[in-house]
Every structure is written in structure tokens, then in C-alpha cells.
Amino acid sequence: MQVVKNIFIALVSLLLAIVIFMPKQELYYKLEKSLDSYGIILNEKKIDENLFALDMSDIDVYAEGIKVAHIDNIHCFIGIFYNYIDISGVVFDKSLKSFVPLKITKADITASILNPTQATIGIDGDFGKAKGYVNINGVLHLDIIDVKDIKAFKRSLHKNGNGWYYETKF
């Protein structure tokens, strides 16, 4: 029994060391590089890395060289069994008002080992609140649960018995 206990402690210590010493900034730069292939550029002012998290602030988002959004803060928690990203203060360019809400106060994305093929999403903005998921098959589904002002991008939404929702496949 002592051998099993020692193996378990060594395995947990190894996993913990991998997460703690993982180069989190390099993950962010890898994300930037993969987004660049789609013509999307992130320009951040500040990156802070600590044991389990990565914080980026004052981020401008460019698509094909045109500024499309500004993000105040992104906080990423990177763990062994549970990961999440908190995004706050997203303001889109006014030229996109027919496609997306102009302001998103808070968004969070959560991934867990309990459901490895799907990440849950929660969004609060000037349109109301939305909850949904993105899965490994490239399906993004958002249910608008607290509708405030969706007139600007209503044509992108669908309606069913539960209310308004947005769904796309990428």
C-alpha cells in the first residue's frame, strides 16, 4: 500500500510542477500566432504571469488591420482539472453594431476534465445575459436568457420555444 501511496504522491507532484512551471506567456503567444493566420492581431499593453494564472490588460483587437474591439482585462486560470478565462470590459467598434453587441461587461469560459469535449460560456452585456457552450466539433451555441436590447443584431439570432439563441459552426 505504501508503494501505491508514493506513486500517487509523485504523480500529483509531477502534474502540479508541470502546471506551475509551464510557460504561460508562451501559450498566449501561441494563441496570437494561430489567430494571426486568420488575420486577427492582439495588441496587449501588459502581461502578468503567476503560478496558476496569466493576466493580460488593455488589449486592442485588429482584424485585417482594422481595430474591431478593445478589451480591458483577460484573466486565465490554468489548472490540472479545471481551467477558466474571465474577460471584462469588451467594447466593439460601432461599425459592428449590426453583428455583435457593442459592449460586453463580462464573459467567462470554463473547461473541466469532467466534460473534456465542451467548454461553457457565460456573457453579460448591454444586450442582456447569455449562457451557452462551445464544443470540440466547432459548434458555438448561446442562449439569450435575459433579453434587454437585441434590436441591432436580432437578424443573427434564432427563436425557439425557450427564447432567443445564437448558433454557429466554425
- pLDDT tens for residues 36-88? 999 999 999 999 998 899 999 999 999 999 999 999 999 999 988 899 999 99
pLDDT at 77 (0 to 100)? 94
Residue 26, φ and ψ in degrees, nearest 5: -65, -35
Spatial distance between the Cα atoms of 67 and 60, rounded to a whole number of angstroms: 7
Can you give the residue ranges of every domain in the chain? 1-80, 95-170
- CA 21 to chain CA mean position, Å: 22
Lookup: cell for 62: 485588429
pLDDT at 100 (0 to 100)? 82
Evaluate if residue 151 carries a pLDDT over 80: no
pLDDT at 153 (0 to 100)? 78
The fraction of the chain above a pLDDT of 90, given in percent, is 59
